[in-house]
C-alpha cells in the first residue's frame, strides 16, 4: 500500500501544524493536526479492508482458441474478470501472460472506476508462444487506487492461471531414405493406400475419382485420362527416446529439438492414418512402451513423467553375450591369419590369453533384462524402422544392444542426432555404434 500525493500533502500539513502548535503553544493547532492524522489512519484501515474485499470477490474465466500449438504459433485469448470495486476507487486489471508469450494484438489491461456494484469486463487479445512445454498463465493483477492510497494485488490461484497451453517445439522429423511419411514406402503397384508418385496413365472408367483426371493429357488427346498413383505399403516406425540420467548434464536446446522431431513424427503418422510406437528408456531401464501413439500431448506427458523416474540400472560398458561369442570367433580367426595358430610370438601369446579370457566368462554370461525387454517390444509390433532419439551422453552400451536387437528383428535403425549437441554429436561414443544411419535434427 502506497500513499498518493494528496495524502503526502496532508501529512506535511499535519506535521507543520504540530510544529506550529509546539512553538506558539496553540492547542487548536494540536487538535487540528491530530484530527488530520486520525482521519488518514482511518482511511488507511478502510482502504485495506476494501482492497481485501475486492480481491476476495474477484473471479476469472479464461478461454483460448487452441490448447495445443507449435512453437511460434498464436492463439486468441478471452479473459473475463468479475469483481466488486470499492466506491470512488479506480481499478486496473492486468492479465499476466505465460512465460515466453508475446501479445501481438489487443490489450491485456482493463481500467474502470469503482461504483460499489459488481463490475465485469472481458479482455480479448492474441498471444504468440515462443517457449515450449505445458505453459500456464501468470494469473491476474488488480491495482486499486483512491484519492489517498494505491495498492496492487497479484492473484495466482489455479483458477486464475488456467487453462494450460501445450506448446510443441518446432523441429522437423526426417525418416530414412526411401520412406514417405512415417514408414510407408511407395510401390509400383496399386494398394489400398495411395502415394504421391504417378505410376501410369490410363483411360477414364466409370467410378474413377474425378480428382485423378489429368486435364493436360485429356485436352491433348481428346479423351479422358486419369492418373494411377503408386501404392503405399509398410509399417509405422518405433520411436525410441533415451532420457538422460539424473547424474548427466542436460542440454535443454538439444532436448527441445528431440521433442520437436518426435512431435512431428507423431503428427505425420496421424496424417497417414498411422500411429507410431513409442518406447521410453533411460539407459538400460525400460520405462514405458506404447504400441500405438497418436497424441502429441499424451506423448509429452509420458516423457515428462518418465524424466522424473530414477535410473535404477546402468550398463557400465557391458558386453552382450552374442557379441562376446562373435569376438571370440574373431580372435580365433585372427590367430589363424596372423600366426597360423602356433608359435610363441608376442601377437599369438596376446590373442591366446584374450581368447582364454573370453572362454572363461562366456559360460556365466546371461542375457540382460533390458535386452529381453527390447526383444519383446520388437516382437510385439511390426516396425518399418527404429528411430533413436538421445543426447548420447556417457555409456552407450544400451544403445548398441538396442541396435543389435533391432537388427535381429529385421528393422533398420536410424540415430536422430540433435544439431545443438557439441560437434553435432559427431564425437564420443556415438561413433562406436556402427551399422546404423544417422540423421541430424535441425
Question: Which residue matches cell numbers 489429368?
Answer: 214
pLDDT digit string (tens) for 415-441?
888 888 876 555 566 666 777 778 788
pLDDT of residue 58: 87
pLDDT at 216 over 50: yes
Q: How far apart are CA 108 and CA 141, in angstroms?
A: 11
Specify the 3-state DSSP secondary structure of 27.
helix
Least confident of 157-161, 307-311, 417-421: 307-311
Contact of 248 with 161, CB cutoff 8 Å: no
Output the average pLDDT for the chain: 78
Least confident of 42-46, 61-65, 107-111, 270-274: 270-274
End-to-end CA distance of the chain: 51
pLDDT digit string (tens) for 285-299?
999 999 888 888 888
Distances in Å between the Cα of 57 and the Cα atoms of 47, 86, 159, 168 are: 15, 11, 13, 36
pLDDT of residue 248: 66
pLDDT of residue 249: 63
pLDDT at 172 over 70: no
pLDDT of residue 240: 92
pLDDT of residue 190: 46
Reported confidence tier of residue 125, pLDDT bands at 50, 70, 90: very high
Cis check: omega of the bond before 268, within 30 degrees of 0? no
Contact of 110 with 82, CB cutoff 8 Å: no
Contact of 233 with 187, CB cutoff 8 Å: yes
Provide mean pLDDT across the span 31-35: 84
Q: How far apart are CA 67 and CA 134, in angstroms?
A: 10
Amino acid at each position: 500500500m502506497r500513499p498518493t500525493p494528496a495524502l503526502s500533502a496532508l501529512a506535511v500539513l499535519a506535521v507543520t501544524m504540530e510544529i506550529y502548535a509546539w512553538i506558539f503553544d496553540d492547542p487548536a493547532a494540536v487538535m487540528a493536526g491530530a484530527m488530520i492524522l486520525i482521519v488518514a489512519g482511518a482511511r488507511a484501515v478502510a482502504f485495506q479492508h476494501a482492497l481485501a474485499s475486492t480481491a476476495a470477490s474477484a473471479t476469472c474465466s479464461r478461454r483460448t482458441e487452441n490448447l495445443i500449438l507449435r512453437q511460434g504459433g498464436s492463439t486468441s485469448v478471452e479473459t473475463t474478470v468479475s469483481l466488486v470495486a470499492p466506491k470512488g476507487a479506480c481499478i486496473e486489471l492486468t492479465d499476466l501472460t505465460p512465460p515466453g508469450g508475446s501479445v501481438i494484438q489487443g490489450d491485456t489491461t482493463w481500467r474502470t472506476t469503482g461504483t460499489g456494484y459488481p463490475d465485469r469486463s472481458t479482455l480479448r487479445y492474441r498471444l504468440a508462444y515462443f517457449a515450449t512445454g505445458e505453459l500456464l498463465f501468470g494469473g491476474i493483477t488488480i491495482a486499486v487506487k483512491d484519492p489517498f492510497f494505491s495498492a496492487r494485488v497479484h492473484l495466482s490461484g489455479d483458477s486464475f492461471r488456467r487453462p494450460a497451453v501445450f506448446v510443441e517445439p518446432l523441429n522437423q522429423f526426417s525418416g530414412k531414405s526411401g520412406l514417405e511419411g512415417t514408414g510407408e514406402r511407395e510401390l509400383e503397384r496399386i494398394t489400398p493406400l495411395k502415394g504421391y508418385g504417378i505410376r501410369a496413365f490410363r483411360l477414364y472408367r466409370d467410378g474413377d475419382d474425378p480428382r485423378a483426371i489429368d486435364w493436360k493429357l485429356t485436352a491433348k488427346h481428346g479423351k479422358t485420362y486419369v492418373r494411377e498413383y503408386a501404392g503405399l505399403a509398410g509399417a509405422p516406425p518405433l520411436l525410441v527416446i533415451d532420457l538422460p540420467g539424473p547424474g548427466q548434464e542436460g542440454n535443454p536446446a538439444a532436448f527441445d529439438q528431440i521433442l520437436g522431431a518426435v512431435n512431428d513424427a507423431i503428427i505425420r503418422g496421424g496424417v497417414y492414418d498411422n500411429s507410431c510406437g513409442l518406447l521410453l528408456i533411460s539407459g538400460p531401464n525400460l520405462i514405458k512402451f506404447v504400441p500405438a501413439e497418436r497424441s502429441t500431448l499424451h506423448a509429452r506427458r509420458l516423457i515428462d513423467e518418465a524424466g522424473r523416474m530414477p535410473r535404477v540400472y546402468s550398463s557400465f560398458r557391458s558386453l552382450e553375450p552374442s557379441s562376446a561369442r562373435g569376438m571370440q570367433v574373431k580372435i580365433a580367426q585372427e590367430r589363424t591369419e596372423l600366426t597360423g595358430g602356433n608359435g610363441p610370438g608376442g601377437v599369438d601369446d596376446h590373442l591366446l590369453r584374450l581368447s582364454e579370457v573370453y572362454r572363461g566368462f562366456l559360460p556365466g554370461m546371461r542375457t540382460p533384462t533390458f535386452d529381453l525387454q527390447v526383444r519383446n517390444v520388437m516382437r510385439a509390433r511390426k516396425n518399418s524402422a527404429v528411430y533413436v532419439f538421445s543426447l548420447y551422453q556417457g555409456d552407450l552400451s544400451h544403445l548398441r544392444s538396442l541396435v543389435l536387437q533391432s537388427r535381429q528383428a529385421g528393422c533398420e535403425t536410424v540415430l536422430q542426432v540433435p544439431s545443438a549437441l557439441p560437434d553435432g554429436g559427431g564425437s564420443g561414443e556415438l561413433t562406436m555404434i556402427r551399422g546404423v544411419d544417422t540423421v541430424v535434427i535441425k
